[in-house]
Amino acid sequence: MSALVLVINTGSSSLKYSLVDADSGEKRADGLVERIGEGTGVITHHAADGEHRVERPVADHEQALRAALDAFAEHGPSLHDADIRAVGHRVVHGGARFSSPARVDDELIEAVTELVPLAPLHNPANLEGLRVARKLFPDLPQVAIFDTAFHQTLPEHAYTYAVPRSWRDDHQIRRYGFHGTSYAFVSRAAADLLGRPLEEVNLIVLHLGNGCSATAIEGGRSVETSMGLTPLEGLVMGTRSGDLDPAVPAHLHRQLGWSLEEIDDALNKTSGLKGLTGHNDFRTLEKLRADGDEDARLGFEVYCHRIRKYVGAYYAVLGHVDAVVFTAGVGQNAPQVRARSLSGLERLGVVLDAERNDVRPDRPTVVSAEGSEVAVLVVPTNEEWEIARQTLAVVDAGGGPDDTGR
């Protein structure tokens, strides 16, 4: 029987899709529909014979998914012949309700809708994805994979903010954490590389992409993570500030008269590396830094310093650390970030090997020195494969929505 899963990830104006073999991780095709609802949409489809780019009107997410299906029909592989088993959806916020993937049904859609106030930028787009995929694939099982689910193991003392009870009880204000599918995939692959059962290893995993977060993982369970109620807290990111004195928004409001929406927007979209250097893409920052640009130098230092602080903090949370693991675009491709963030930590047992670290690996790789008490690993993440695997696991378990861990 085939293990093919169509993985869908919807943003407010984009829809990413890939056809993944959940057993092998092989991607049969993938693509991106951009500029949904902005006049002319752009569809980029990758199939066996290369890239195909088409422009056509894409008014909404339904038209976007139809455009993706047309790309499959035109450039292959044929979805008709592919024997797809299920559709797997990335959903950003599952609140405290979802600690595992769940079959999509009316009740789940209602629950995800109730969580919109916690993720006003993401969940509405994810809901559109669920709605249109159910309409266009009425006979296929659909599974929602939540970014927050992996962190539902956080202990109470780690997820609780020191705020009044009514905020916590009536408004669900607490730390949730994100990048869960990446952490699930990377922690398993890291344990494999160490040659030890996941249940026996303690890891500090640094997911450094456009969004960045750190997680302390004890025996496969998330026990502390840097993103909070929303993905704004924690490390310095491409366009998000990460940690900040909570008094800053009130200060800006008093000084500049900015609305909360304007401040929220600026902290999410024009802060982080973009705010520090004018650029959110790490490659651009590195070019500028090589040319002696002062903002790029400072941006790099602030970025790495924040990572170092979290490594130290999570070391203390875990007590014993087997490996520090780098993943995602920057984590995998920027040896200088790994070197700078971990320099001088020999007393903690963390010793990088400069030559081994000089890599941009496409498979799990050890970059620490021989005999380093704490291993340093680079593990490419593969969120689509993880979504496909979790989707099929739910489908194969055969349960209805009520026995999928809700």
Pick the stretch among 244-252, 280-288, 308-316, 338-346 that binds ligand AMP (CB under 6 A): 280-288
Q: Which of 41, 209, 220, 234 is in the footprint of ligand AMP by CB under 6 A?
A: 209
DSSP β-bridge partners for residue 55: 42
262 has binding-site annotation: no
Contact between 239 and ligand AMP by CB under 6 A: the answer reads: no
x-or-dash string of contact with ligand AMP, 46-85, rule CB under 6 A: ----------------------------------------
Amino acid at 313: A
The secondary structure element, H or E, covering residue 52 is: strand 50-57
CA dihedral 43, 120, 112, 218 (to 10 degrees): 90
x-or-dash string of contact with ligand AMP, 282-301, rule CB under 6 A: xx------------------
At closest approach, how far in Å is the CB of 349 from ligand AMP? Answer: 27
Contact between 251 and ligand AMP by CB under 6 A: the answer reads: no
Q: What share of residues in the chain are helix, strand, coil (percent, to 5)?
A: 45, 20, 35
**Does residue 117 have a cis peptide bond before it, meaning omega lies within 30 degrees of 0?**
no
Catalytic-residue membership of 139: no
At closest approach, how far in Å is the CB of 72 from ligand AMP? Answer: 24
Q: Which of 100, 210, 239, 270 is in the footprint of ligand AMP by CB under 6 A?
A: 210
Structure-token pair, residue 251: 């200060």
Q: How many residues does the chain have?
A: 406
Judged by CB, which is closer to ligand AMP: 102, or 273? 273
What is the distance between the alpha carbons of residues 88 and 95, in angstroms, rounded to a whole number?
A: 19
Judged by CB, which is closer to ligand AMP: 98, or 185? 185
Pick the stretch among 66-74, 109-117, 154-162, 277-285 that binds ligand AMP (CB under 6 A): 277-285
At closest approach, how far in Å is the CB of 281 from ligand AMP? Answer: 4
72 has binding-site annotation: no
- Exactly one of 139, 147, 192, 362 is catalytic; name it: 147
SS (H, E, C) 181-234: HHHHHHHHHHHHHHCCCHHHCEEEEEEECCCEEEEEEECCEEEEECCCCCCCCC
DSSP β-bridge partners for residue 46: 30, 51
114: left (phi over 0), alpha (psi -120 to 50) or beta: alpha
x-or-dash string of contact with ligand AMP, 313-342, rule CB under 6 A: ---------------xxx--xx--------
Residue with tokens 């689509």: 384
The secondary structure element, H or E, covering residue 283 is: helix 282-290
Residue with tokens 């009130």: 250
Q: Which of 101, 238, 275, 299 is in the footprint of ligand AMP by CB under 6 A?
A: 238
Minimal CB distance residue for ligand AMP: 329
At closest approach, how far in Å is the CB of 329 from ligand AMP? Answer: 2
Q: Which residues of 150-167 are buried (b: 16+ CB within 10 A; e: fewer)?
A: bbbbbeeebbeeeeeeee
Which of 112, 74, 107, 118 has its CA nearest to residue 90?
A: 112
At closest approach, how far in Å is the CB of 64 from ligand AMP? Answer: 21
Annotated binding site for Mg(2+): 9, 383
Annotated binding site: 9, 16, 90, 207-211, 281-283, 383
Task: Summarize as ranges the residues that interact with ligand AMP (CB under 6 A).
Answer: 209-210, 238, 281-283, 328-330, 333-334, 360
Catalytically annotated residues? 147
Annotated binding site for substrate: 90
